[in-house]
Structure 1
Amino acid sequence: MAENEKKPGLGRSLRLLIALALILLAAVVLMVLLQLTESALNIWHLLDQMSPTLLAIYIIGLAVFALLALAIIWWFFRPRQSSSRAKRTVIEVPQDAAEMETRLDKAEEKGIDTSAAKQELRELQRRQQEESIYVVLFGPVSAGKSSLIKALTGDASIETDPRAGTTRYISHYRFSDDAEADITLTDAPGILDTDTAKVERARDEARRAHLVVYVTDGELTRDQYQEIAELLHFERPMVIALNKIDRYDAADLEAIKQRIAERVPDVPVISVQAGGQEEVIRVMPDGSEQRVVRERASDISALLETMRRTIARRGEDLHQRRDASLLTLGAEKLHRSTAEYRRVEAEKLVKQYTRKAMLGAMAAVSPGTDILIQGYLGVSMVKALNNLYEAPVRDMDLEQFVELASKNVGKRLPILLALSGNVLKAFPGIGTVTGGIMHAVAYAMIFDSLGKAVSKTLDETGTLESKRALDYFEETIGGNLENRAKRFARLAVEEIARKK
């Protein structure tokens, strides 16, 4: 009973303490508010007595202080882009065809596939000899590109269809306009094609051309505006041709052209009627319906006039820009081929040095000698990878990098050795062996991880960025440990069997 009587008393005491604490807190807050109010009133009184000049200086000073404070806060908390993770994309463009040929010869001597880049160089030389103005018609599927080319050239054999996606391949058609200009029209697949290879070929063809005609049959979508913006980066004169104008009355047509012109102000927007075919429904006398495909009348005068003016005004500049673009395209393809060659060769180098590390561990007089700390194989592998990527690096920097990698390995080596020992138990006659073969598996995992980390860093940046490479090393060496250990254990056992 005594205990039951104490509990209510304790509860009342606790509530009393909480109430006193709240009263004290309220008093403190009230005092702070009174102090702030008094300070504010004093400041207001002082400001009221200041001259207008001093008041302006005071306000400007407060504003500058506030801006500086905001700038400092933004600098500390702004979203930072990791420059170390940015991939190198700068490609050196040759000045002329002769320099491009020199690069191709050097690349070919190394074993790099230069076929795609050579094709661009041959295409440049061929088009220079032809002296024809290349005009590529670009646009979404079923916009009427093929019909427009048919109307321009008068070639009735060009395949057209009122349904989407008639153009499946890149085709060229030559004709001479009334001004006797030699023009080659290029019909490319639609930009919204589901086949990415077709889209890439169409974009490349736009870069090879002198002039781009973007054909559409109505309001442009967000994707089409994005594609136009990309084409404008190639620095080609462009014309937007609004096709199938018979679908709209004059007011609607002008409104569409105005909206397009507002979004793309530097590109002329013209109206055309490419002709071609259209599918209509004919109501028969008996009330039945019949689907009929009929020819449309064409009106391409505005497009021809715009093309003539552009060719006459830009003149030699069109050829110079076309040549530079083809050289750039060739350089990009050579860059991609070189990158692929380096990835393949880097993988071979990593495998070679991984095998050397395994053999070195098994042949060591003192099993467990840290190959990375000794440095020879580690430095040699990293140096070979840098030579492959033509990334100059000092021997001192190489040794320092390998030493840093060795320190990272030190804390993982016991785990790798234990894992190697467990994996080797699965091989009859090997499971009880310790020393060399166990270290061979561990060092194979280390060298494989280090080589892949260095290769990835060089591929992304073109230089040996130690921090990035070590970060990748940490990621690689700790991933998929068991499967990698089994793979290298199998290789180590095969090496032992081969020696026997």
Structure 2
Amino acid sequence: MAVDTLWRRLRGWLKPDAFVAAAPGATANTDTAQSRMTASLRSLLDDPTISPAIRSDLAADFGRIEAMLDRLERGELHVAVFGRVSAGKSALGNALLGREAFTVGVLHGTTAAAQQATLDEAIQDGLVLIDTPGINELDGEARERLAFDVAEVSDLVIFVADGDLTRDELDAIHTLAATQRPLLLALNKADRYRADEREALLDRLRERTSGLLRAEDVIAVAARPSPERVLDIDAHGREHAHEQQRPPDVAALRERLLAIAQREGKTLSALNAGLYAGRLTDQVSARIAASRRLLASRLIRQYCIAKGLAVALNPIPVADLLAAAGLDAAMVVQLSRVYGLPLTRAESGRLVAVISAQLAALMGAIWGVQLVASTLKGVSAGLSVLVTAAAQGALGWYATVLIGRAAERYLVAGKSWGDQGAKRVVAEIVASLDRDSILREAREEILKRLKSRQAPLL
């Protein structure tokens, strides 16, 4: 299946009404959409039109698609725990899991690489937590990039803050929201605030993230509450003070996660896979387009040289122009194969005729000069080849560039001139090219080749 066709189908299945997991009887619709998504992702991975070079360049991305397919088949929902250094990301992950799965330290940079563990209470829902490096780690860009990469391939993100948001945190939330991931904001270390202070801070966070998160998705937690001071009285009536560690307070966040996993887990996993596949297909399409443009440019240049020399070396008046038209038609046939839209020789000839007619209307004076040069070359019996042939060959070269680029636009648009029509497209091509530099390059190349053949020509 062609990449662009696949992505059109993915976009159709990613419409909101394709996944209505919370609605009664929506399970069948969700399962059907997920099955379609899985099949299309497999088609993307197996697409024979994607060259080995492109697959090699995008190997990591194709690997991620494979991993996402495995997750879909296992029914997992991946949740990235995200935030700045020391906000308590790892501690929150451990509190949600009920065990020390993630490394917790007092120094910056404890989480140097992404770690993940399955949430015990949600094994039946396939919920997986991913702990990420802090967005402001000491060694900066590499770890921050890793954190964003992990969030990008997760199905849901918990952003952990321990107070009002800094500029960097708010920027990060905007960036994450742009990835179209559902976001939860966990206000960690909430035990440090009085009840009224905590509610005021939650309201402040909801206000600052309005439009990015729902109000109910801003939740107060305490992953590692401060120890409480406890007084014991011994048998002699003497008081003894000691500190006692309080249990984590993450019940509200855990319940929210479990509800999302149960109600929307398959939906989010399929959406995430589709969104990531969309970005990958865009990259693949861009690489294929760039590869085609490069190949087309080389092909057009080859025909420019062939046509320039054919025009310059043909001593028969006007016959050189007819030979040039044949080369243009052959070039368009080759270009159509490059773009995967093969044209017959007859179709190619008609396309060249349309383009040439528009060029003649725009540049009649140039073609008149070429006709005069052709006649002059015939009258001089070839003796003035170096005087007239290089100039005429350069014009032939320039015409081939114009015809090739116009045909390329027609093919890229799927064998169509679009709403603009042939006249407008050809005019834009003419305006976009630097005629003088093309003619200068053409004359230099043709003269160089003519001089190497000068003895046999005279």
Report the TM range for the smaller structure's normalisation: 0.5 to 0.7
- Residue of structure 1 aligned with 2:362, choices 408, 428, 443: 408
- Residue of structure 2 aligned with 1:242, choices 179, 187, 207: 187
- Residue of structure 1 aligned with 2:429, choices 473, 477, 481: 473
Distance 1:225 1:155, change over 3 A: closer
Moved more, 309-318 or 193-202: 193-202
CA RMSD of superposed structures (Å)? 4.8
Query: 1:126 and 2:84 equivalent?
Result: no
| Distance (whole Å) between structure 2 residues aligned to residue 416 and residue 215 of structure 1 | 72
| Aligned residue in 1 for 2:8 | 92
- Residue of structure 2 aligned with 1:353, choices 266, 281, 303: 303
| Aligned residue in 2 for 1:341 | 291
Q: What does the per-residue CA deviation read over 1:213-248, in whole Å, with 9 as the maximum and x for residues that have no partner?
A: 23445347674564354233xxx5432223454676
Query: 1:269 and 2:187 equivalent?
Result: no
- Answer whether contact 1:379 1:402 (CA < 8 A) is retained: no
Distance 1:185 1:461, change over 3 A: farther
Query: 1:436 and 2:389 equivalent?
Result: yes
| Distance (whole Å) between structure 2 residues aligned to residue 451 and residue 100 of structure 1 | 35
Moved more, 312-321 or 370-379: 370-379
| Distance (whole Å) between structure 2 residues aligned to residue 136 and residue 172 of structure 1 | 10
- Residue of structure 2 aligned with 1:137, choices 81, 86, 92: 81
* Cα distance, 1:342 vs structure 2: 1.6
- Residue of structure 1 aligned with 2:119, choices 169, 176, 192: 176
For structure 1, which runs of at least 5 residues remain unmatched after alignment? 1-87, 278-295, 418-430
Q: What does the per-residue CA deviation read over 1:6-44, in whole Å, with 9 as the maximum and x for residues that have no partner?
A: xxxxxxxxxxxxxxxxxxxxxxxxxxxxxxxxxxxxxxx
* Cα distance, 1:416 vs structure 2: 9.8
Q: What does the per-residue CA deviation read over 1:222-275, in whole Å, with 9 as the maximum and x for residues that have no partner?
A: 74564354233xxx5432223454676325313213414643464611123456
Give the paired residue count: 376
3-state SS, counterpart of residue 54 of structure 2: coil
Distance 1:372 1:378, change over 3 A: farther
| Distance (whole Å) between structure 1 residues aligned to residue 408 and residue 104 of structure 2 | 50
Of the two, which has the highest radius of gyration?
A: 1
Distance 1:157 1:238, change over 3 A: closer
Distance 1:258 1:400, change over 3 A: same
Distance 1:124 1:150, change over 3 A: same
- Residue of structure 2 aligned with 1:496, choices 432, 445, 450: 450
- Residue of structure 2 aligned with 1:362, choices 302, 312, 319: 312
Query: 1:213 and 2:158 equivalent?
Result: yes
- Matching residue's letter, 2:219: I
3-state SS, counterpart of residue 257 of structure 1: helix
* Cα distance, 1:307 vs structure 2: 0.9
- Matching residue's letter, 1:136: A
Q: What does the per-residue CA deviation read over 1:285-315, in whole Å, with 9 as the maximum and x for residues that have no partner?
A: xxxxxxxxxxx99654433222112112224
| Aligned residue in 2 for 1:70 | none
* Cα distance, 1:353 vs structure 2: 1.8
3-state SS, counterpart of residue 313 of structure 1: helix
| Distance (whole Å) between structure 2 residues aligned to residue 266 and residue 251 of structure 1 | 16
- The within-5 A match list for 1:50-449 is 91-93=7-9, 95-102=36-43, 105-108=46-49, 113-115=54-56, 116=58, 118-138=62-82, 145=89, 148-149=92-93, 152=96, 154-155=100-101, 157=103, 162=108, 171-181=114-124, 182-187=126-131, 205-206=150-151, 208-216=153-161, 218-219=164-165, 223=171, 226-227=174-175, 229-232=177-180, 236-243=181-188, 245=190, 249-260=197-208, 262-264=210-212, 266=214, 268-273=217-222, 299-366=249-316, 371=321, 375-391=325-341, 395=348, 396-412=350-366, 433-449=386-402
For structure 2, which runs of at least 5 residues remain unmatched after alignment? 11-35, 227-245, 372-383
* Cα distance, 1:401 vs structure 2: 2.4
| Distance (whole Å) between structure 1 residues aligned to residue 112 and residue 90 of structure 2 | 11
| Distance (whole Å) between structure 1 residues aligned to residue 342 and residue 142 of structure 2 | 36
- Answer whether contact 1:190 1:199 (CA < 8 A) is retained: yes
3-state SS, counterpart of residue 158 of structure 2: strand
Give me the identity figure in percent. 22
Moved more, 220-229 or 299-308: 220-229
* Cα distance, 1:385 vs structure 2: 2.9
Q: What does the per-residue CA deviation read over 1:386-440, in whole Å, with 9 as the maximum and x for residues that have no partner?
A: 44334577553453123212433433468999xxxxxxxxxxxxx9922222222
